[in-house]
Structure formats: structure tokens, C-alpha cells
Amino acid sequence: LSNLDAKLRNQMRVEIKRLQRALGVTTIYVTHDQVEAMTLADKIVVMNDGEIAQAGTTLEVFENPRTKFVTGFIGSPQMSFFDGHVRHKGGAWTFECEGLSIPLDPSGFGAPLEEGRPVWGGLRSEDIVPVGHGLQPKNQISVDGVITLTEMLGNENLLFGTLGPNQFVSRMQQPRLVQQNEQMTFHVNVDRLHLFDRETELNLKFKNEKTSPKGRSGE
């Protein structure tokens, strides 16, 4: 559907899904558009370089991506990644990078946490919430970021900003005019942080072997 304009593409997605449901026929649909995959599929198979990176229901793949590649491919806008390390101080575990420190609960990870382990921290745009603009997470920390760009989408804004050297995207409900280079405070949903091993790019949420996964980004 990539050659169609945006409005017609949306209409065609609905019609294709209606037709498939009406016929009750098992259908394989190949697309490079992750929005098409998520809206049409009962089950998604994410592939990279001809190999399966992950397979599962739309919700499973979105909520529990097994690799950094899958995480970056599924979801719009793309998940924000922060280059940092796992730290252990005073009996407490944290994810640390410049401009950001997030407490970690070891029980939430299948892989063991290791002091000094280089990782990518990943947060989706809905888990970085501007103060006063959206539901506030139960377990949260507050951080200050600088806005570099905004996208007005009607009922929400996408805010593109920086935390230290790292870039991020935030969803702003009940939008207002935001100025470039404006400093804003955000609530970060601690429970929604993903950690990916820097070398293997595997999600530490799962008990993974320390080998390079199928579908590693950049390969």
C-alpha cells in the first residue's frame, strides 16, 4: 500500500482486514510498514536479513520485544534509546546515563544484573510524560529535558528533545505551544524501562544466552 496516499492507505487497511475476517482465510501479508503489520495482523513475524527476529501476537511483540532491533522497528514513533550502564550502589540497582538515573528492580529481569554492564535503556514516547500533560505513572522519576522540535498531531504533540547527549521523543496530551529550546520537566515511568545488552542487543527482561541474536540491528 506504500504507493497510495495516506488517507486511501488507511481506508485500504480497514477494507483488507474486513475482507480477511469475512472470508475466514489464513492470510500471509508481507509489508515493510510496521503500522500495517500491527493493524492487520493477529500474529506478527519480524524478520531481518531473511531471519526471524521475533514472532508473536501484536501485543506480545510490542510489550515484550526480545531485541533492540525489534524494539526499534515496532512502535511509532520509535522507542528512545539511552546509552548507559547498570550500576550497583548501597545495595540498590540503577540504570545510569548522562542526565538520567532510573532505579531497577532485579526481579523484573530474567538476565542477571551486573555492575558496570554497558546497556541501552529504552523508553517509549508514552512513558516519558510532560508534567501536567497526561496520566502520571505510579512509579516515576522526574527529569529535565530541552525541546528541539515539536510535531502537532491535533489531540497530542510529539516532543523531540535531549537529555544530556541522548535524544528522546515524548507524547504530550492536552497540547500547548512549545518553544524550541524550551526546558521542560518530564515524569519517566520507571516500570516501563527496557534494558538491552550493548554487545548482543538482547533484552535483559528475558533469560537470554550471551550470543548475538537473530535480527540484531545494523547487521
The structural domain count of the chain equals 2
Based on the fold, state whether residues 91 and 185 are members of the same structural domain.
yes
State whether 142 and 183 are in the same domain.
yes
Angle at 120 between CA 119 and CA 122, to 5 degrees: 140
Give domain status of residue 99, yes or no.
yes
pLDDT at 214: 47
pLDDT tier, 66 (very low <50, low <70, confident <90, very high otherwise): very high
What element of type H or E holds 55?
Answer: strand 51-57
pLDDT tens per residue across span 157-169: 899 999 888 999 9
Domain with 84, as residue range(s), is 80-197
Count each helix (H run) and each strand (E run) in the chain, helices first. Answer: 4, 12
Phi-psi label, residue 201: left if phi above 0, alpha if psi -120 to 50, beta otherwise: left
Cβ contact 192:208 at 8 Å = no
Gap between the Cα atoms of 60 and 138, Å rounded: 23
Query: Is there a domain that residue 170 lies in?
Result: yes
Query: By three-state DSSP, how is residue 109 classified?
Result: coil
Phi/psi region, residue 20 (left: phi>0; alpha: psi -120 to 50; beta: rest), is alpha
Is residue 203 over pLDDT 80?
A: yes
What's the average model confidence in pLDDT over 131-154?
A: 84
CA-nearest of 206, 204, 201, 208 to 48 is 201
pLDDT at 211: 43
74 falls within a domain: no
- Which CATH number does the domain housing residue 88 bear? 2.40.50.140
Compute the distance between CA of residue 217 and CA of residue 89 in angstroms, rounded to an integer: 31
The radius of gyration of the chain's CA atoms, rounded to the nearest angstrom, is 19
Q: How far apart are CA 141 and CA 163, in angstroms?
A: 14
Q: What is the mean pLDDT of residues 39-55?
A: 89
Distance between terminal CA atoms of the chain?
27
Calculate the average pLDDT of the chain. 86
User: pTM of the prediction?
Assistant: 0.81
| 127 shares a domain with 27 | no
The per-residue pLDDT for 2 is 65
For residue 201, give the nearest of 70, 62, 48 by alpha carbon.
Answer: 70
Asked if 103 and 179 sit in the same domain, the reply is yes
pLDDT digits (tens, 9 = 90+) for 95-123: 999 888 999 999 889 888 999 999 999 99
